Amino acid sequence: MSVDGLSINLATVREQWGFAAAVDGCLRHGITAIAPWREQIAKIGLAEASRIVHQNNLHLTGLCRGGFFPAATAEKRSAALDDNRRAVDEAAELGADCLVLVVGGLAENSRDIVAARQMVADGLDALLPHARACNVPLAIEPLHPMYAADRACVNTLGQALDMCELLGEGVGVAIDVYHVWWDPDLAAQIARAGKMNAILAHHICDWLVPTRDMLTDRGMMGDGVIDLPAIRRMVEAAGGTPKQEVEIFSAQNWWLKPGDEVLKACIDRYENCCQSDSPA
């Protein structure tokens, strides 16, 4: 088996490596697809990051991340929009498949999740012309409902696709198994996303039992309870063939291990636990 279908989200090794070292690590293991974070790009500088990406013919399965549209004042929402436009520019310069959007939760001091969702729709609508002009698809990433208050008020694939339908061309979804595996409507919504040509990214990791921290206790594929082959089958049946991008926040485990060891585990688990014909 090859690692052609594998991408490494650089958050997975963010505690071990900066951007350049992470790229070197991936290349050492034959991995040529990555998804960096803007902070990682900023540290080395966009020009140098772009040089590394293009010189090595790296495939960027996404740039993380834009979003965080809701805010209490028009001024703050406008500032968020400006920052999102810069994120689009960076994604364009790096040639990323999409800009991944964590849309944001409630505005400050607000309990109005309906209003927050409207601010997200408005922000996306305002961002889209620039994204289209730059040929950067926007990928709404529905986040697990446990992040609804503080990270993303778009919490199901169905809700994200409803937004995509209203917004039109240039926007789709990032399907992260961690956020959607529980959804009773998952199969139907992945099929719908396929019909809409809206599957822009497929992120993988695993849900650990118990989960000891809501943010930084994600598992390596195979160590948790997500039926990864089943979800991959849904994606493939929907006509989606995005690379599988490993994104693991793991403060107590994987972030403490040498980066090469983490990448080896990613490859091993990708090959053995994540294929549509892997054992459940």
List interacting residues with a second copy (CB under 8 A).
106, 111-113, 117, 144-146, 148-150, 153, 155-156, 159, 181-184, 207, 209-211, 214, 224-227, 230, 280
CB of 80 to a second copy, least distance (A): 19
CB of 71 to a second copy, least distance (A): 15
SS3 sequence of the chain:
CCCCCEEEEHHHHCCCCCHHHHHHHHHHCCCCEEECEHHHHHHHCHHHHHHHHHHCCCEECCEEEEECCCCCCHHHHHHHHHHHHHHHHHHHHHCCCCEEEECECCCCCCCCHHHHHHHHHHHHHHHHHHHHHCCCCEEECCCCHHHCCCCECCCCHHHHHHHHHHHCCCEEEEEEHHHHCCCCCHHHHHHHHHHCCCEEEEEECECCCCCCCCCCECECCCCCCCCHHHHHHHHHHCCCCCCEEECCCECCCHHHCCHHHHHHHHHHHHHHHCCCCCCC
Instruction: CB nearer to a second copy: give 31 or 226.
Output: 226
Instruction: CB nearer to a second copy: give 113 or 191.
Output: 113
Instruction: CB nearer to a second copy: give 47 or 209.
Output: 209
How many other CB atoms are there within 10 angstroms of residue 256's CB atom? 11
CB of 112 to a second copy, least distance (A): 6
CB of 225 to a second copy, least distance (A): 5
CB of 157 to a second copy, least distance (A): 11
CB of 99 to a second copy, least distance (A): 23
State the sign of the Cα–Cα–Cα–Cα dihedral 55, 60, 65, 66: positive
Instruction: CB nearer to a second copy: give 74 or 280.
Output: 280
Is 79 in contact with 85 (CB distance < 8 Å)? no
Instruction: CB nearer to a second copy: give 112 or 169.
Output: 112
CB of 228 to a second copy, least distance (A): 8
Is 198 in contact with 182 (CB distance < 8 Å)? no
Instruction: CB nearer to a second copy: give 238 or 263.
Output: 238
Instruction: CB nearer to a second copy: give 94 or 180.
Output: 180
